[in-house]
Amino acid sequence: MTSILPRLRGTGIRRADDKIAELKAKHAAEVARLNADADQLRQDVATLLNRQAASDDFFAILKHDVVTANAAWVGERTRRENAEKALVQAENAIRLRNRTIDDLKHKLDVGVNAEHVIAQTQEMEIPADLRERFAEGPVVALNQTPMARRRPDHVPGWVKDQAEPTA
């Protein structure tokens, strides 16, 4: 069987031991560089994870603020609607009160005017010449009319209906 590994022969620059040592040195340098790059990548990943956690916290705070603001907005809208309803009711009550006041003023004015009319008619005097003129003429005082005199034998119709028993 033939070995594919180079043998350690000769003293030249192409000697296999030197080549292996050179490759091991390159490999060690490459591993060191890769380890340094890996450490830097780990630090970058840690920094990015910290930033992501901070941004997650920030967005959680923003979400909470949005929820709080929306709840406050809904509450304010509800309070505003209730206040508007109360205002409409108060305006209706004021209109009703004003209408009632106007009606009462009108009734008071009518009553005062009626009292003035009554007072004026009660204060009115009939002149003596008119009384004398109509005392014996075609105009007779009400208590002197023939209908005002009572007849002892007269029984009103409504009394007869109630007095007679129905058979």
d(CA 84, CA 52): 47
d(CA 151, CA 147): 9
Low-confidence ranges of the chain (pLDDT < 70): 1-15, 119-124, 133-144, 146-152, 154-167
- Whose tokens are 């108060």? That residue is 90
Where in the chain are the domains? 16-124
Question: What is the tens place of the pLDDT at every residue in 79-100?
Answer: 999 999 999 999 999 999 999 9
Give the pLDDT confidence score for residue 133 in this predicted structure. Answer: 67
Does this model's pTM top 0.75? My answer is no
Please return the burial class of 15, using the count of CB atoms within 10 Å of its CB with bins 0-12, 13-18 and 19+. Answer: middle
